[in-house]
Chain A
Amino acid sequence: MQNMLSLLYSALCRLTGRAAGAQTVSELLIGLSEYASLTLPAVPPDLAQTQRLTPKAPPVVGAKAGAAPLASASLAAPVARVTASRTYSDFTPQVTLDIKKCELHLLEEGPSAKAELTREQGLRYYRTMQTVRRMELKADQLYKQKIIRGFCHLYDGQEACAAGVEAAINPTDHLITAYRAHAYTYTRGVSVKQVLCELTGRRGGVSKGKGGSMHMYAPRFYGGNGIVGAQGQLFETFNMAALWKLPCIFICENNQYGMGTSAERASASTDYYKRGDYIPGIRVDGMDVLCVREAVKFAADLCRAGKGPIVLELQTYRYHGHSMSDPGVSYRSREEIQEVRSKNDPIALLKEQMLSNNMASAEELKEMDVAIRKEVEEAAQFATADSEPPLDDMCNHIFKNDPPLEVRGTNPWSVLKSVS
Chain B
Amino acid sequence: MALSVNSLLRSGRNAVLVLRRRAFHRSAQAAVQVTVRDALNQALDEELERDERVFLLGEEVAQYDGAYKVSRGLWKKYGDKRVIDTPISEMGFTGIAVGAAMAGLRPICEFMTFNFSMQAIDQVINSAAKTCYMSAGLQAVPIVFRGPNGASAGVAAQHSQCFAAWYAHCPGLKVVSPWNSEDAKGLLKSAIRDDNPVVFLENELMYGVPFEMSDEAQSKDFTVPIGKAKVERQGSHVTLVSHSRYVSHCLDAANVLAKEGIECEVLNLRTIRPMDVESIEASVMKTNHLVTVEGGWPQFGVGAEICARIMEGPAFNYLDAPAIRVTGVDIPMPYAKILEDNSLPQIKDIIFSIKKTLNV
* Residues of A in contact with B (beta carbons under 8 Å apart): 149-151, 198, 201-203, 205, 207, 209-215, 225-232, 258-261, 265-267, 330-331, 388-389, 391, 393-395, 398, 407-414, 416, 418
Residue of B nearest to A409 (CB): B329
B342 at the interface (CB under 8 A from A): yes
Contact of A410 with B337 at beta-carbon distance under 8 Å, contacts A211-B157, A229-B116, A266-B88 already known: no
In the assembled complex, the CB of A226 is this many whole angstroms from the nearest CB of chain B, namely: 4
- B325-345 Cβ-contact flags toward A at 8 Å (1 or 0): 111111110111111001111
Asked whether, in the complex, the Cβ of B338 is within 8 Å of the Cβ of A389, the reply is yes
Nearest 5 pairs of A and B residues by beta carbon:
A150-B154, A212-B335, A201-B336, A149-B154, A209-B336
B329's partner among A203, A267, A407 (CB-CB below 8 A) is A407
| A198 cross-chain contacts in B, Cβ below 8 A | 335
In the assembled complex, the CB of B161 is this many whole angstroms from the nearest CB of chain A, namely: 11
B159 at the interface (CB under 8 A from A): yes
Contact of A209 with B334 at beta-carbon distance under 8 Å, contacts A230-B91, A261-B87, A411-B352 already known: yes
| B334 cross-chain contacts in A, Cβ below 8 A | 209-210, 389, 394
Contact of A214 with B329 at beta-carbon distance under 8 Å, contacts A261-B59, A261-B60, A410-B349 already known: no
Contact of A150 with B344 at beta-carbon distance under 8 Å, contacts A231-B92, A411-B326 already known: no
| B91 cross-chain contacts in A, Cβ below 8 A | 230, 232
The 5 sampled A-B contact pairs (Cβ below 8 Å) are: A205-B336, A209-B335, A214-B156, A410-B344, A411-B353
Contact of A391 with B158 at beta-carbon distance under 8 Å, contacts A258-B87, A408-B330, A410-B329 already known: no
| A209 cross-chain contacts in B, Cβ below 8 A | 334-336, 339
A229 to B121, CA, bound (A): 13
Asked whether, in the complex, the Cβ of A260 is within 8 Å of the Cβ of B63, the reply is yes
A138 to B31, CA, bound (A): 46
Asked whether, in the complex, the Cβ of B60 is within 8 Å of the Cβ of A260, the reply is yes
| A413 cross-chain contacts in B, Cβ below 8 A | 352-353, 356
Asked whether, in the complex, the Cβ of A149 is within 8 Å of the Cβ of B337, the reply is yes
In the assembled complex, the CB of A411 is this many whole angstroms from the nearest CB of chain B, namely: 5
Asked whether, in the complex, the Cβ of B338 is within 8 Å of the Cβ of A391, the reply is yes
Asked whether, in the complex, the Cβ of A259 is within 8 Å of the Cβ of B60, the reply is yes
| B339 cross-chain contacts in A, Cβ below 8 A | 201, 209-210, 388-389, 391, 393-394
A388 to B356, CA, bound (A): 31
In the assembled complex, the CB of A419 is this many whole angstroms from the nearest CB of chain B, namely: 12
B120 at the interface (CB under 8 A from A): yes
Residue of B nearest to A212 (CB): B335
Residue of A nearest to B299 (CB): A408
Contact of A230 with B345 at beta-carbon distance under 8 Å, contacts A150-B335, A388-B337, A394-B334 already known: no
| B78 cross-chain contacts in A, Cβ below 8 A | none
Residue among A205, A212, A330, A407 with max Cβ neighbours from chain B (10 Å): A212
| A330 cross-chain contacts in B, Cβ below 8 A | 64
Residue of A nearest to B119 (CB): A230
Residue of A nearest to B338 (CB): A388
B2 at the interface (CB under 8 A from A): no
Contact of A394 with B88 at beta-carbon distance under 8 Å, contacts A201-B336, A229-B116, A411-B353 already known: no
B32 at the interface (CB under 8 A from A): no
In the assembled complex, the CB of A121 is this many whole angstroms from the nearest CB of chain B, namely: 36
Asked whether, in the complex, the Cβ of A231 is within 8 Å of the Cβ of B89, the reply is yes
| A391 cross-chain contacts in B, Cβ below 8 A | 338-339, 342
Asked whether, in the complex, the Cβ of A215 is within 8 Å of the Cβ of B92, the reply is no
Residue of A nearest to B335 (CB): A212
A413 to B294, CA, bound (A): 16
A215 to B154, CA, bound (A): 12
B87's partner among A260, A266, A416 (CB-CB below 8 A) is A266
Residue of A nearest to B89 (CB): A231
Residue of B nearest to A230 (CB): B119
In the assembled complex, the CB of A365 is this many whole angstroms from the nearest CB of chain B, namely: 36
B153 at the interface (CB under 8 A from A): yes
Contact of A150 with B324 at beta-carbon distance under 8 Å, contacts A227-B119, A388-B339 already known: no
| A408 cross-chain contacts in B, Cβ below 8 A | 298-299, 327, 329-330
Asked whether, in the complex, the Cβ of A226 is within 8 Å of the Cβ of B89, the reply is no
Asked whether, in the complex, the Cβ of A229 is within 8 Å of the Cβ of B88, the reply is yes
In the assembled complex, the CB of B269 is this many whole angstroms from the nearest CB of chain A, namely: 19
- B198-223 Cβ-contact flags toward A at 8 Å (1 or 0): 00000000000000000000000000
In the assembled complex, the CB of A209 is this many whole angstroms from the nearest CB of chain B, namely: 4
Asked whether, in the complex, the Cβ of A150 is within 8 Å of the Cβ of B59, the reply is no
| A407 cross-chain contacts in B, Cβ below 8 A | 329-331
| A393 cross-chain contacts in B, Cβ below 8 A | 339
| B327 cross-chain contacts in A, Cβ below 8 A | 408, 410-411
B335's partner among A215, A228, A265 (CB-CB below 8 A) is A215
B118 at the interface (CB under 8 A from A): yes
Asked whether, in the complex, the Cβ of B154 is within 8 Å of the Cβ of A229, the reply is no
Asked whether, in the complex, the Cβ of B158 is within 8 Å of the Cβ of A215, the reply is yes
Asked whether, in the complex, the Cβ of A226 is within 8 Å of the Cβ of B156, the reply is yes
Residue of A nearest to B65 (CB): A330
Asked whether, in the complex, the Cβ of A227 is within 8 Å of the Cβ of B158, the reply is yes
- B139-167 Cβ-contact flags toward A at 8 Å (1 or 0): 00000000000001111111100000000
| A214 cross-chain contacts in B, Cβ below 8 A | 156, 158
Residue of A nearest to B331 (CB): A395
B276 at the interface (CB under 8 A from A): no
Asked whether, in the complex, the Cβ of A412 is within 8 Å of the Cβ of B324, the reply is yes
Q: A227-B118, A228-B88 are in contact. List 11 more A-B contacts (CB 8 A).
A: A198-B335, A210-B339, A212-B154, A215-B157, A225-B158, A229-B59, A230-B119, A260-B60, A408-B327, A410-B327, A413-B352
| A149 cross-chain contacts in B, Cβ below 8 A | 153-154, 337
| A412 cross-chain contacts in B, Cβ below 8 A | 324-325, 353
In the assembled complex, the CB of A175 is this many whole angstroms from the nearest CB of chain B, namely: 19
Q: Which of chain B's residues 78-135 have a Cβ closer than 8 Å to chain A?
A: 85, 87-92, 115-116, 118-120
A229 to B338, CA, bound (A): 31
| A207 cross-chain contacts in B, Cβ below 8 A | 335
| B90 cross-chain contacts in A, Cβ below 8 A | 229-230
A408 to B60, CA, bound (A): 38
| B344 cross-chain contacts in A, Cβ below 8 A | 410
B42 at the interface (CB under 8 A from A): no
